[in-house]
């Protein structure tokens, strides 16, 4: 899944694809580079971000979604708002990516249920302006899984078919960016993808959004502790993609597609070889 942020202020690529023409061109480039899905969003969720109005969000994504769908691209809409998702579904998007897992807008689950499209339900504890202060966990893996289980109950109660749900541990969203000790929230989740998504006897598909996030900049900090700028974390993103895909992720959401697409293919070969070996030994 390649990312098109039509925003002036996203964490990882703020402003780069803000204009409709640039965003559409970028979406087409991502597909040419190997993306199976293009995720279009018009509201930044970087730590500390304030919300934009629904009108502004729609203004940003409308032409981009319309043109990409027209060009035959499999488009996902990255929004917490039913109003925006409704437009996007009418325009023909194939998937709704709701980072709030239906918490931000109570109308979202029913809308997605009616459309019957895949629904990405991410772990989320509140809006970005103060999400870091909610990053308090005794056991991050157990708590994220339990809170996702509650969201599954809530959205299925609104009519969402469980077979359409994709879970996401919400890396960077109310998760501390450390890489050792009790703050290594993102890393503990990454090594526990199967555990996080095994809920109610079912293994849900998992989407991982690690690309260019703070935990990579923190891991790769200079000796004086200065975090590596996010633009210089693409190689680390590729490493996470390979490990996450080998560890069972269904999809990775990334900003730079080519090397990540290669990493996904490496992981697929890795898993196929492991499965073949296991079968031969039986």
Q: Which residues bind ligand PMM (CB under 6 A)?
A: 3, 5, 10-12, 45-46, 78, 97, 99, 120, 122, 168, 171, 207, 209, 212, 253
Q: Under a CB-based contact definition with an 8 Å cutoff, are residues 125 and 131 in contact?
A: yes
Whole-angstrom distance, CA of residue 212 vs CA of residue 254:
8
What would the two tokens of residue 24 be? 């559409």
Residue closer to ligand PMM (CB basis): 11 or 187: 11
Whole-angstrom distance, CA of residue 169 vs CA of residue 121:
9
Which entry of 46, 62, 81, 253 is annotated as an active-site residue? 253
**Least distance CB 273 / ligand PMM (angstroms):** 29
Residue closer to ligand PMM (CB basis): 10 or 86: 10
Q: E-assigned strands of 148-188?
A: 165-168
**Least distance CB 275 / ligand PMM (angstroms):** 27
- Give catalytic status of residue 213 as yes or no: yes
Residue closer to ligand PMM (CB basis): 12 or 241: 12
Whole-angstrom distance, CA of residue 72 vs CA of residue 249:
25
**Least distance CB 81 / ligand PMM (angstroms):** 14
Residue closer to ligand PMM (CB basis): 36 or 270: 36
Residue closer to ligand PMM (CB basis): 48 or 200: 48
Whole-angstrom distance, CA of residue 111 vs CA of residue 89:
9
What would the two tokens of residue 70 be? 């027209």
**Least distance CB 200 / ligand PMM (angstroms):** 21
Cα 157 to its chain centre, rounded Å, is 23
Select the residue whose beta carbon is closest to ligand PMM and give its number. Answer: 209
What would the two tokens of residue 217 be? 């900049």
Residue closer to ligand PMM (CB basis): 46 or 185: 46
Beta-bridge partner residues of 254? 2
Give the phi and the psi of residue 102 in degrees, each rounded to 5: 90, 0
**Least distance CB 211 / ligand PMM (angstroms):** 7
Whole-angstrom distance, CA of residue 57 vs CA of residue 76:
15
> What angle do the packed helices 108-115 and 82-91 form, to 10 degrees?
20
Whole-angstrom distance, CA of residue 63 vs CA of residue 55:
13
**Least distance CB 267 / ligand PMM (angstroms):** 18
Which entry of 213, 256, 280, 281 is annotated as an active-site residue? 213
- Give catalytic status of residue 253 as yes or no: yes
Give the phi and the psi of residue 122 in degrees, each rounded to 5: -95, 150
Longest dimension (CA), the chain: 59
Active site residues: 213, 253
């Amino acid at each position: 899944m390649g990312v098109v942020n039509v925003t002036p202020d996203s964490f990882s690529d703020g402003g780069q694809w803000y204009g409709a023409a640039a965003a559409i061109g970028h979406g087409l480039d991502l597909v040419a580079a190997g993306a199976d899905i293009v995720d279009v969003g018009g509201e930044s969720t970087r730590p500390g971000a304030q919300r934009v109005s629904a009108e502004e969000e729609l203004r940003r994504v409308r032409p981009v979604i319309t043109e990409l769908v027209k060009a035959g691209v499999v488009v996902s809409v990255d929004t917490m708002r039913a109003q925006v998702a409704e437009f996007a579904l009418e325009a023909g998007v194939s998937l709704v990516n709701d980072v709030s897992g239906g918490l931000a807008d109570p109308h979202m689950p029913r809308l997605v249920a009616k459309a019957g499209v895949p629904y990405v339900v991410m772990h989320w504890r509140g809006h970005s302006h103060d999400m870091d202060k909610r990053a308090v966990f005794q056991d991050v893996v157990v708590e994220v899984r339990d809170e996702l289980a509650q969201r599954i109950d809530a959205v299925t109660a609104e009519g969402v078919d469980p077979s359409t749900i994709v879970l996401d541990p919400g890396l960077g969203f109310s998760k501390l960016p450390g890489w050792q000790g009790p703050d290594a929230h993102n890393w503990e989740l990454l090594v526990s993808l199967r555990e996080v998504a095994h809920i109610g006897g079912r293994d849900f598909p998992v989407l991982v959004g690690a690309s260019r996030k703070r935990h990579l900049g923190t891991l790769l900090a200079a000796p004086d502790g200065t975090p590596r700028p996010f633009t210089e974390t693409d190689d680390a993103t590729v490493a996470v993609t390979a490990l996450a895909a080998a560890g069972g992720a269904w999809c990775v959401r990334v900003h730079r597609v080519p090397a990540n697409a290669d990493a996904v293919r490496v992981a697929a070969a890795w898993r196929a070889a492991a499965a073949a070996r296991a079968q031969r030994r039986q």
